[in-house]
Amino acid sequence: MSQNENTTTTTDEGGTDPQTDDEKLISTDVTTGEESARAAATSRTMVEARGVDVYYGDLQALDDVSLEIPEGKVTAMIGPSGCGKSTFLRCINRMNDLVDSARVEGDLLLKGKNVYDDDVDPVALRRQVGMVFQEPNPFPKSIYDNVAYGRRIQGLEGDMDEEVEKALRRAALWDEVNDQLDKSGLDLSGGQQQRLCIARAIAVDPEVILMDEPASALDPIATSKIEDLIEELAEDYTVVIVTHNMQQAARISDQTAVFLTGGELVEFDDTQKIFENPEHDRVEDYITGKFG
């Protein structure tokens, strides 16, 4: 099944469909034999940043960031506190629009289309690019209504019961909640709440899921469930995850971007390469815990 079949584009510009017009095959930046087998040679770019600067008033939070995030993979963003990881994530679905002082320069492309173009509707964009936050934040509604919410406000077609079940199954929560869908989402455990938020995000058939430290408020067992889930989600979605946990990045991501102080993207490569043999001493120092 292709989720793209159900996904509207961010623009109706000229009736074009970025799905077909902006298809762009790139070689993934993979150097080792084992990794290249896994990466199966080519992958489409889902998100591309070109020379992105972000300012909050006078403070520069991102400095000339360029990278290409491949489709259908898990891309991790790591780096010390304040280096701009969340800021970068929020550029992708224009959450920074909601911050008055924020100013974004450069190009941020989703399947080749600049998300900052005038004809892009940020609400439609956020349907294509869903987000999961550090603290689970279910609505004070039933489990069912949490998952159905996005589809209802977007007026999406389909049997709602089926869609809710599908999203809860994909979020690995169905077996735990299927006999209590009327219960408040707030009455679930923290780990269940986070999986509910993931179900809510995927219920509208996004293409990209942004996760900002999604497991940092959870205990080890709940964390490991979320990690397993993220790996499964990458079969259907492009996942971009911010984490402070190096082992987590190493375990679950295909690519890792290392940001360092000043909002600089210092290195972006295959995760194994970043953790075993980074190009930059500063990255090695960060990864081995010499600073940050």
Ligand X SMILES: Nc1ncnc2c1ncn2[C@@H]1O[C@H](COP(=O)(O)OP(=O)(O)OP(=O)(O)O)[C@@H](O)[C@H]1O
Tokens representing 186? 């707030």
CA gap 40, 38 in Å, rounded: 5
Binding mask 40-59 for ligand X (x = CB under 6 A): ----------------x--x
**Which of 85/127 has CB closer to ligand X?**
85
> Candidates 78-86, 136-144, 259-267, 282-290 — which segment interacts with Mg ion by CB under 5 A?
78-86
Q: The tokens of 92 are what? A: 């992708």
Q: Which stretch binds ligand X (CB under 6 A): 67-75, 85-93, 142-150, 215-223?
A: 85-93
Strands 208-212 and 129-132: parallel
Residue 214: closest CA among 233, 142, 65, 204? 233
Closest CA to 22 of 39, 44, 51, 40: 44
In the bound complex, what is the minimum distance in angstroms from residue 53's beta carbon to Mg ion?
A: 18
Helix (H) or strand (E) holding 18: helix 18-21
**What does the block give as tokens for 69?**
């995030």
Instruction: Give me 210's structure tokens.
Output: 């942004």
101 is an interface residue for ligand X by CB under 6 A: yes
Instruction: Closer to ligand X by CB, 158 or 262: give it.
Output: 262
Query: To the nearest whole angstrom, how small is the minimum distance from the Cβ of residue 253 to ligand X?
Result: 16
Q: How many residues bind ligand X (CB under 6 A)?
A: 13
Q: Is 87 in the site for Mg ion (CB under 5 A)?
A: no
Site residues, ligand X (CB under 6 A): 56, 59, 61, 79, 81-87, 99, 101
Site residues, Mg ion (CB under 5 A): 86
